[in-house]
Amino acid sequence: MTADTSDRDRLVTENLPLVHACANRFRGRGADYEELFSAGCVGLCKAAGRFDESRGFSFSTYAVPVILGEIRRVFRDGGALKVGRTLKEKARRAMHEKAKLENELQRECTVGELAKRLGVSPPEAAQLLEVSQPVLSLTSDDERAERQFDIPVPPPDGPLCDLLALRTVLEMLPQRDADLIRLRYFEGLTQSKTAARLGMSQVQVSRREKAILLHLRELLLK
């Protein structure tokens, strides 16, 4: 069921912080934050228009993958990484100053020397030089494209997806069990204080907690 206009607008308005959270995970990767946020908003609107609450899961669980998918599009441009305008301008200046400095020294300059010339830190100078390098294709290493480079990297959205998966399985628990986990792991209460809040004994909380955690593990590994 597609959400009507009023529901869609409400979902978009209420979940803009979700877009900020997703976009923040891609900061410092060569794209302007405004561009990331705009792409995330496109994903949020798509998710709001397609969301069907009758399926039994929360909107955020459905929306985050859609938002992240749109943000990742910012980095796709024929397989190349898009670099923000400000960073490109700094990189061009760095290369210009590098050429001038090497002409003065009559040798290749070091990163430290270039950093001093630019008035930046050595790590920032190294980043600017890296931005200026031609893009390396990860799908081929020659014109015949016979080989592919596979570079394993941890997904930037991993922790967020794990949290959403946990939220999804928590919604499957009976309310009393969900309250126990919330008090113990989200509010940080001791077993004794949790027992007092739930009208249980400390031993009962301990036993039930172990059973719930085992059940959650089984759900997450499915």
* pTM of the full structure: 0.39
The answer to whether 200 and 218 have CB atoms below 8 angstroms apart is no
- At residue 202, the pLDDT reads 93
pLDDT of residue 195: 94
80 has which bridge partners?
77
> Which of 134, 41, 36, 23 minimizes the C-alpha distance to 79?
134
**Burial category of 144 from C-beta neighbours within 10 Å (exposed 0-12, middle 13-18, buried 19 and up):** exposed
How far apart (Å, rounded) are the C-alpha atoms in residues 71 and 26? 8
Phi, psi of 80 (to 5 degrees): -100, 155
Concatenated DSSP letters for 20-35?
HHHHHTTTTSSS-HHH
Low-confidence ranges of the chain (pLDDT < 70): 1-5, 76-85, 130-166, 168, 220-222
CA distance linking residue 9 with residue 49, whole number of Å: 9
Which residues, 6 or more positions from 84, have their beta carbon under 8 angstroms from its beta carbon?
30, 31, 32, 35
pLDDT tens for 162-213 read 666 667 677 788 899 989 988 988 888 899 999 999 999 999 999 999 999 8
Residue 94: what pLDDT? 84
Q: What's the distance, CA 179 to chain centroid? A: 28
Domains, the chain, with CATH or none: 5-74 (1.20.120.1810), 85-132 (1.10.10.10), 172-220 (1.10.10.10)
Q: Give the model's pLDDT for residue 13.
A: 83
